[in-house]
Amino acid sequence: MPPGSGSGSARSAPDRLLAVLAAFDHDHPALTLTDIGRRAGLTLTTAHRLVGALTEWGALERDASGIYHVGLRLWELAALAPRGLALRQIALPYLEDLYEATHENVQLAVRDGDEVVYIEWLSGRSAVGVHIRVGGRWPLHATGVGLALLAHDDPASQEVYCQSPLTPFTPYTIADAPRLRRVLAEVRRTGVAVSSRQVTEDALSVAAPVRGPGGAVVAAVSVVVPQAGAQVPVLTPAVRVAARGISRALGWQPDEPRRGSLIPGRGTTTP
Amino acid sequence: MPPGSGSGSARSAPDRLLAVLAAFDHDHPALTLTDIGRRAGLTLTTAHRLVGALTEWGALERDASGIYHVGLRLWELAALAPRGLALRQIALPYLEDLYEATHENVQLAVRDGDEVVYIEWLSGRSAVGVHIRVGGRWPLHATGVGLALLAHDDPASQEVYCQSPLTPFTPYTIADAPRLRRVLAEVRRTGVAVSSRQVTEDALSVAAPVRGPGGAVVAAVSVVVPQAGAQVPVLTPAVRVAARGISRALGWQPDEPRRGSLIPGRGTTTP
């Protein structure tokens, strides 16, 4: 066995390479070779070889001071993710319209397991400080987008989530199953999810589901505002209109609304 | 040698895994396992093993019909790229302002080798059809953003590019070294790059360089409009202001502008 290959030898080659990529996260966006080796559980020799291959390919970039960052090639690849940039590109005009109408923080999120991942976020410059970011994650039960996504999951999966441990972030976070069940029923009834002071004590979000071509909920859009003075009845129609606009752009076709006939049939008399 | 490992055996393990990722591009965003194996030059057995590892990690996602797509985990990782989402997040408010002021296509691009890569693109809904996309690439000499980036490269590298083959896309594309040198000098003199009918015959772009903390040009911002009736003198200040705004947000500090004293010194007399 060559020196330095020991620590990684029990793991497969793909696992070791992916461990190098996984060494980078929001708290560690810039790493030295030594950092990467330690965080990936690899010897310096193995880390050097794998980082070299990733850098040559463009997945990592080395700056003038020898620090490694995530590279442009991964950005280009990520642009192909149907639940990432591709969805965001379709949604962006509608998110901009929602921002124009409210001048508050506007978000688009998708579900990944028991969490939401934010794939777009337009910042209101005077808006409440928001503890989220593009690529950031939160559990479903705390956020407006998470509740909107969870409420439209199949009933059995919803029940599994309701019975799982519900981490509280503030005294207002939904932390018990009966309350979560009631809130999810309310979300389905009203078409919007409201998360008030459940992530931070100063913020409130109003979210609505985004549907794909077949009608399945694929994402959620929300507005986050300061909780003090939040006008939920004013925000609700704007968020719903934006969510329906994105859904239509994705190919969703709503059921025909019932309406009174505007064209009198033959043989009818008009007053 | 185990069956099926033959075709990839001459390449290193990292190379084979990266070849699977590289099988996905703009023209091939959704692939079957067989497609992936063929495009990556791997046997089905090897492709199956590597795709499995990438899917488990989240770099790929398999849909209900068994087709593979780029996964959300790569999107999250790409959000850490300083020249991708991170730059775009800082620039977005200024790009939105430029869009509001012009209602035309607005782009942000960075350089990668001899090409520009578009990392943001806001579409004017009534604007000219533009043959670019987020994650898309064009050679430096054809586009406004490319000319803005090239003009601020060091002189020796510029000369190397000038003497390389310059692909024409329309009869108006800059395709000879003397003309490219003259255009680059003009870009440095005026602070903006104009590409008229050089990518498609109906479009014109006005671009300006974006500077990082040390003053180096790190990106370029542009507006693309229909060539017929384009008002370059009107677009120029808007594009320059947006580019300077992004530069300041990145930490760039301009030299103090020279200005006449507005406050009369002691002992001076005002008329």
CATH number at residue B21: 1.10.10.10
Number of structural domains in chain A: 2
> What's the CATH code of the domain at B197?
3.30.450.40
Q: Are residues A89 and A171 in the same domain?
A: yes
Looking at A77, A95, A110, which one is the last position of a domain? Answer: A77
Low-confidence spans in chain A with pLDDT less than 50: 1-8, 126-131, 260-271
pLDDT of residue B6 exceeding 50: no
Chain B residue numbers with beta carbons less than 8 Å from the beta carbon of A72 are 81, 83-84, 110, 112, 117
Would you call A31 helix, strand, or coil by DSSP?
A: strand
Distance in Å, alpha carbon of A79 to nearest chain B alpha carbon: 6
Residue B192, chain A, CB below 8 Å: the answer is no
List all residues 6 or more positions away from B165 whose beta carbon is below 8 Å from its beta carbon: none
- Joined together, the tokens standing for residue B108 give 């942000």
Q: Are residues B29 and B153 in the same domain?
A: no
B129 part of a folded domain: yes
Would you call A201 helix, strand, or coil by DSSP?
A: coil
What's the rounded Cα separation, in Å, for the pair A83 and B224?
Answer: 28
Q: Are residues A161 and A200 in the same domain?
A: yes
Q: Are residues A33 and A90 in the same domain?
A: no
Looking at A55, A77, A99, which one is the last position of a domain? Answer: A77
A7 part of a folded domain: no
**Span A23-50, pLDDT tens digits:** 998 889 999 999 999 999 999 999 999 9
Q: Are residues A104 and A203 in the same domain?
A: yes
Q: Are residues A168 and A213 in the same domain?
A: yes
Looking at A77, A104, A120, which one is the last position of a domain? Answer: A77
Q: What is the ipTM of this complex?
A: 0.72
Q: Are B223 and B239 in contact (CB under 8 A)?
A: yes
Q: Are residues A25 and A47 in the same domain?
A: yes
Q: Are residues A148 and A21 in the same domain?
A: no
Q: Are residues A71 and A101 in the same domain?
A: no
Q: What angle do CA B209, B213, B214 make, to 5 degrees?
A: 90
Q: Are residues B40 and B103 in the same domain?
A: no
Nearest Cα residue in chain A from B135: A76
pLDDT of residue B9 exceeding 60: no
Residue A213, chain B, CB below 8 Å: the answer is no
B111-143 residues labelled b (16+ CB within 10 A) or e (exposed): bbeebbbbbbbbbbeebbebebebbbbbbbbbb
Q: Are residues B138 and B62 in the same domain?
A: no
**Residue A23 belongs to what domain range?**
13-77
Mutation target for A interface from B72, B119, B138: give the one with most A CBs within 10 A: B72
- Joined together, the tokens standing for residue B259 give 């200005």
Residue A70, chain B, CB below 8 Å: the answer is yes
A265 part of a folded domain: no
**Span A161-211, pLDDT tens digits:** 999 999 999 999 999 999 999 999 999 999 999 999 998 888 899 999 999
A29 part of a folded domain: yes
Place of tokens 């639940």: A83
Mutation target for B interface from A36, A67, A76: give the one with most B CBs within 10 A: A76
A174 part of a folded domain: yes
Q: Are residues A66 and A141 in the same domain?
A: no
